[in-house]
């Protein structure tokens, strides 16, 4: 997590909103991090609700106490809600409600995962379960530090339309250009 390089995290929300094209959008985001994806979604007047599903209760507490840079701003927005849960487990269960956008910003990439709960998530069977959480025309998005042809292939088995958007930016922390990747599907 970094507050100095946030362009691609914001792009996850803005690209998915643009791909959807609708209004009054209900957004679920897996992973709160420092809140930049959530803030980018809430900055759109097309978004009605954002629920963040965050595994670590302490990260939610940081936001509630204003420790993370955007915490206070997120917590006072009536459209924002943070829930402590494992997003991967939730997306494997039957949906309680459906969302217009489901955005995942948890792992470094589909091939560089941070925890065991995501080990099988990036395969067709789990993606098919995750797709059930989307409204018709809903968009599923995943942020990644790298390309993943194998994950793109799994998305193509599961969704009718798949886009892979490279996000080029200058990383001021390391002093060089970099590329992150957005996988968008519906």
The pair of three-digit structure tokens given for residue 130, joined into one six-digit string: 């995750």
> Which domains are present in the chain?
7-110+131-185 (3.40.50.150)
Q: Which of 160, 170, 133, 165 is nearest to 26 (CA)?
A: 133
| Three-state DSSP state, 66 | coil
- Element housing 169 (H / E): strand 162-171
Q: Rounded to 10 degrees, what is the CA torsion of 77, 101, 16, 157? A: 160
In whole angstroms, give the CA distance from residue 170 to residue 163: 23
The pair of three-digit structure tokens given for residue 169, joined into one six-digit string: 């930016």
User: Residues 17, 25: contact at Cβ < 8 Å?
Assistant: yes
pLDDT score recorded for residue 104: 95
pLDDT digits (tens, 9 = 90+) for 83-127: 999 999 999 999 999 999 999 998 666 766 656 666 678 889 999
Exposure string over 71-107, b if 16+ CB within 10 A, otherwise e:
bebbbeeeebebeeebbbebbbeebeeebbbbbbbbb
- Confidence band (pLDDT; 50, 70, 90) for 165? very high
pLDDT of 3 strictly over 60: no
- Beta-sheet strands, E only, within 77-150: 80-84, 99-104, 134-144
């Amino acid at each position: 997590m970094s507050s100095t390089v946030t362009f691609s995290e914001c792009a996850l929300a803005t690209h998915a909103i643009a791909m959807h094209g609708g209004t009054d959008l209900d957004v679920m985001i897996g992973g709160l991090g420092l809140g930049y994806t959530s803030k980018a979604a809430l900055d759109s007047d097309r978004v009605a609700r954002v629920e963040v599903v965050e595994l670590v209760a302490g990260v939610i507490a940081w936001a509630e106490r204003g420790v993370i840079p955007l915490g206070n701003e997120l917590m006072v927005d009536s459209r924002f809600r943070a829930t402590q849960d494992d997003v991967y487990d939730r997306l494997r269960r039957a949906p309680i409600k459906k969302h217009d956008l489901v955005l995942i910003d948890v792992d470094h990439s589909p091939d560089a995962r941070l925890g065991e709960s995501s080990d099988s998530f990036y395969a067709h069977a789990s993606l098919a379960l995750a797709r059930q959480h989307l409204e018709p025309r809903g968009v599923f998005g995943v942020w990644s530090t790298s390309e993943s042809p194998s994950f793109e292939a799994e998305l193509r088995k599961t969704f009718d339309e798949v886009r892979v958007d490279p996000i080029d930016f200058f990383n001021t922390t390391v002093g060089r250009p970099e590329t992150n990747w957005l996988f968008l599907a519906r």
